[in-house]
Structure 1
Amino acid sequence: MTNDPTVRGPEQRKKDVLARLAEEVDIWVASAGGADAPYLVPLAFHWDGTDVWLCTRLTNPTGRNLQAGGRARLALGNTRDVVLLDGEVTTLSVGDVPTRAVDGFAAKCGWDPRGSGPTYAWFRVRPTAVEAWNEEPEIAGRHLMRDGVWVV
C-alpha cells in the first residue's frame, strides 16, 4: 500500500495508460491456444494509437498461441501500478503490415524484423478491454475500456 493518498480519476488514468503505451518498449504477453499451454513472455511492442503491434516467430509457443487463440492479455507495469489490455489478435505476414506500423516498431524498439527472415510474423492486438490501477484505492474505477470502446 502506498502512503500517497492521491487517487487518479478515470481521465488521468487513461492519459497515463496512453503515455505508457507510447513510451514503454516491452510488454508482457499472455497467450493460450490450441493444444499449447498458457504462455507468458515479454515482447517488444509498438502502439500506433489504436493497436498494439507485436512480432515474434510463428514457431515459438507465443507465436503459435497468438495465431491459434486469436486473443491475448497484455500487461504493463508492476504489481502496484498495473495496466492490463485484453485484445483480439490478427496474424499478419510482413507484407500485410502497414509500413507506418513496421517503421514505428523499428524506431521504438531498435529492431527491424523485416530483416529477420520468414519465420517471423506480425500480430496486431486490437484492445477490447483496458484496466488500470495504482494500488488498492484505484481498483474500483479500473475499467477504462469495455467491448473495444473507451468508457472515459
Structure 2
Amino acid sequence: MPRCPDPWLVSFDLPFVPAYGRRQLTDWAVSCPFGPASFGTASQRPPDRPPHERGVRTAAARAWPGGAEGNPEMPTPRTHGERVAAARLRLQQEFQMWLSTGGSTGPHLIPVAFVGDNDAIVTATGENSRTVRNLLEAGRARVAVGTTSDVVMVDTALDGLVPVPEVASDVADRFAAVSHDPRQMPGYVYIRLLPRRIQVWNGFHEFPHRTVMLKGEWLSDPVD
C-alpha cells in the first residue's frame, strides 16, 4: 500500500483547526491513508463530512497566528458572553464527557456519562476504580465536553464521593436516563465535581479569551 504523501501528514497535524467554506479536497488528501485508489477523486469522497471533522485546514488556518482579523477565511470569534452562554448550555444539555485524573500511578482517562446538579458535575464509576483512587489522592480532575474542534474544557475539584443510597433521587433518575443505573449495579459510587476553571473554543481563532470561569466564578470579562 503506498505511503501517504507528506503534505497529507502536515495538513492533519494537531491541534485540528476548523476549515470553513466548501473547499474541495485534493485527491491525495481524500485517498490517504488507504491508498490512492480507495476513494478516487475528491468529488467521490463520502458526502457531507464538514472539513473540520476531516482534520483539513485551509491556507488561512495554516497561516495562523495572525487570527481572524482582516482574514475572510477565518471566522469571527464569539464574544465572551456568547462563550459563557455556550458553556452553560452544553453543561446543562450534554451528557457525555471525557474524565481525566492523575495520581502516583500516572494519568488515567475514561469516557463517562454525567448530569448537572446545580453547580456540580455528577458522574459514577466503580468505587475501587483507578479514577476514584486518583481523585482521592489528588482531589481534582479535568473534564472535556464536545469534540476536538468545539470543546468545553473544565478543571474541577472533587466535591465528594456519594454512596449510592445517599444520592438525591432526581439526580440518580437523570443519570440512569443517560447511562447505566448505579442503583442496580453493586460496587458503584457517585462522583461530584465542582468546576474551578472553564475554557471554551472551537478553533485557533478562539484561543484568545477562551477562559470563561476562574476559581469557580464566571467571568464578566475575558482574562487571556
TM-score with structure 1 length normalisation? 0.89
Cα offset for 1:22? Answer: 2.2
| Aligned residue runs from structure 1 range 23-102, under 5 A | 23-33=93-103, 35-89=104-158, 90-102=160-172
State the distance in 2 between where 1:149 and 1:47 align: 17
State the distance in 2 between where 1:87 and 1:53 align: 11
Q: Which residue identity is paired with 2:81?
A: E
State the distance in 2 between where 1:67 and 1:145 align: 24
SS in 1 for 2:78: coil
Q: Which residue identity is paired with 2:188?
A: Y
Question: Which structure has the greater CA radius of gyration?
Answer: 2
Cα offset for 1:150? Answer: 0.4
| Cα root mean square deviation, aligned | 1.6
4+ residue runs over 4 A deviation: none
TM-score with structure 2 length normalisation? 0.62
Cα offset for 1:110? Answer: 4.0
State the distance in 2 between where 1:92 and 1:45 align: 14
Q: Which has the higher contact order (CA 8 A, sep 6+)?
A: 1
Structure 2 residues not aligned, in runs of 5+: 1-16, 21-73
Q: Which residue identity is paired with 2:96?
A: D
Cα offset for 1:100? Answer: 2.4
Cα offset for 1:52? Answer: 0.4
Contact 1:66/1:91 (CA < 8 Å) preserved in 2?
no
Cα offset for 1:68? Answer: 2.5
Structure 1 residues not aligned, in runs of 5+: none
Contact 1:46/1:101 (CA < 8 Å) preserved in 2?
yes
Distance 1:110 1:92, change over 3 A: closer
Pick from 126, 132, 139 the counterpart of residue 200 of structure 2.
132
State the distance in 2 between where 1:96 and 1:32 align: 26
2:185 is aligned with 1:116: yes
Q: Which residue identity is paired with 2:78?
A: R
Count of residues paired in the alignment: 149
State the distance in 1 between where 2:141 and 2:119 align: 16
Distance 1:110 1:77, change over 3 A: closer
More strand, by proportion: 1
State the distance in 2 between where 1:92 and 1:67 align: 13
